[in-house]
Amino acid sequence: MTPKEVMEFAKKHNVEMVDYKFCDFPGTWQHFTTPTSELEDAVFDEGLGFDGSSIRGWQAIHNSDMLVVPDPKTAVIDPFMEKPTLSLICDIEDPITRERYSRDPRNIARKAMAYLESTGIGDTAYFGPEPEFFIFDSVRFDQTQNSGFYELDSVEGNWNTGEDGGQNLGHKPRYKEGYFPVPPTDSQQDIRTDMVQAMEAVGLRVEKHHHEVATAGQAEIDLRFLPMVEMGDALMWYKYCVKNVARQHGRTATFMPKPLFMDNGTGMHTHQSIWKGGKPLFAGDGYGGMSEMAMHYIAGILQHAPAICAYTNPTTNSYRRLVPGFEAPVNLAYSSRNRSASVRIPMYSPSPKAKRIEVRFPDPSCNGYLAFAVMLMAGLDGIERKLDPGAALDKDIYSLSRADLKDVPSVPGSLEGALDALQADHEFMLRGDVFTQDVVDTWIAYKYDREVDAMRLRPHPYEFALYYDA
């Protein structure tokens, strides 16, 4: 839409309020709302002011004035507000220079797409993430100086088979067997359907939904692939719809990568491909029906994966999932069809348009704009330098011994390890001014200060079981 069309759209739908959404540095939507009377054509050019010092990882207080500038193409009706509310996704600008803000994740994704075009390699990067999540009935947690705990519960949880707090109807998914029996074992079909319909209401195209492997309401809803920036927007709407529909049902949803012990964690397998002039560039006559370009792209992902993890697996909890020998693909190898490899070549269709790679180690705690951008930049580095991914590993990697895997690298074992890898390997991200040095340095400092060091200082509950009698 144009600004004029947005105004007409608002009038047609009797909009009473306008909500301005933008993504902070870690990846959470922030917003503020104005009456429709304040929506004028000038807003799309001049923007609206806000305090950038109150947004995580952004401006210092002495330099805090910033602008949100709504993108008219993103106008939709928010499906969760009681009063008719127009929603607009916004870009962030400096009010003095009117330059787009270097730490705005959406801007970083835009610059990555501009860099792709500048290389002449392609003009479109398609991304198709598969975010997983849990739907719980309740969550309790606290951390004080002398105590710390969490407790999750779900009527679906297999730990509740013996619960005697009322009527117990059984049919609870066994551990690692939630993929994917029909109802009544799958008790959340209607909740996921409501989530899908909320996504469709804001213009997302959904391919399917289903229960995932873990007990206690693990779920997945798959979106149709989109160009990278649009998919960044779509992932924000995806999380928003999932969390708000869960709340409408008296439930709570989380994209935390590893909320449950001894059952599958939550990943975000991410399909990606490059096109030019409407033609797919990853199809060819090589391994898995892929092109030489696709092989170079895979090599770039594998070479830079430890640094990529700082953005695709950006929480300390991410590395409770990425543990060697368990369900997540941690070994940096590629293969066709093989879900134990960290990069997979799906073989569902022989069509050239379906040829893509699937990066399997990311998780949905990430900021989609940043995660997609860093993977694209790594893949482009592989193409530009003609990197070789080596031989495919067409084996069940989970069944291989440590000796078998001694020459196969793996993802970092902690957020600290990923940040150290990012510190040592980020030149590929700086090309085209996509990620600036300031963005990299701020990300590392923020993660160390707010997460790595914060976790180091706190005793873990299980340490009392291990060491209290020391």
Exactly one of 93, 132, 156, 263 is catalytic; name it.
132
339 has catalytic annotation: yes
Exactly one of 93, 130, 222, 233 is catalytic; name it.
130
User: Alpha-carbon distance 245 to 264, whole Å?
Assistant: 23
Q: Which two tokens stand for residue 52?
A: 């950038």
Determine how β-strand 252-254 pairs with β-strand 124-136.
Answer: antiparallel
163 has catalytic annotation: no
Question: Torsions phi, psi of 245, nearest 5?
Answer: -65, -40
Q: Which two tokens stand for residue 297?
A: 């792209």
212 has catalytic annotation: yes
320 has catalytic annotation: no
How many angstroms separate the Cα of 425 from the Cα of each of 135, 268, 300, 421? 37, 23, 12, 6
Exactly one of 31, 171, 320, 339 is catalytic; name it.
339
Placement of tokens 């049902």 in the chain = 249
Task: Tell me which long-range contacts 403-407 makes (C-beta under 8 A, separation of at least 24).
Answer: 405/331
Placement of tokens 């705690």 in the chain = 365
Nearest to 69 by CA among 97, 26, 100, 96: 100
Exactly one of 40, 51, 388, 453 is catalytic; name it.
51
Question: What distance lies between CA 325 and its chain's CA centroid?
Answer: 24
Question: Residue 170: which region, alpha, beta or left (left: phi > 0; alpha: psi -120 to 50)?
Answer: left
SS3 (DSSP) at 253: strand
Exactly one of 269, 271, 296, 356 is catalytic; name it.
269
Compute, in degrees rounded to 10, the torsion defined by CA atoms 178, 180, 184, 186.
Answer: 60
How many angstroms separate the Cα of 395 from the Cα of each of 213, 302, 389, 392, 401? 22, 18, 16, 9, 12
User: Alpha-carbon distance 275 to 324, whole Å?
Assistant: 34
Determine how β-strand 343-345 pairs with β-strand 76-77.
Answer: unpaired
Exactly one of 212, 222, 233, 263 is catalytic; name it.
212
Nearest to 242 by CA among 184, 197, 292, 273: 197
Q: Which string of DSSP letters, residue by residue, matches 396-432?
A: -GGGS-TTTTTTS-B--SSHHHHHHHHHHS-HHHHGG
Strand partners, 270: 129, 359
CB within 8 A of 146, min separation 6: which ones?
none
Exactly one of 220, 233, 263, 451 is catalytic; name it.
220
296 has catalytic annotation: no
Exactly one of 186, 358, 363, 381 is catalytic; name it.
358
220 has catalytic annotation: yes
Determine how β-strand 85-93 pairs with β-strand 17-23.
Answer: parallel
358 has catalytic annotation: yes
Exactly one of 209, 360, 363, 381 is catalytic; name it.
360
98 has catalytic annotation: no
User: Alpha-carbon distance 287 to 307, whole Å?
Assistant: 26
* Residues with active-site annotation: 51, 130, 132, 212, 220, 269, 339, 358, 360
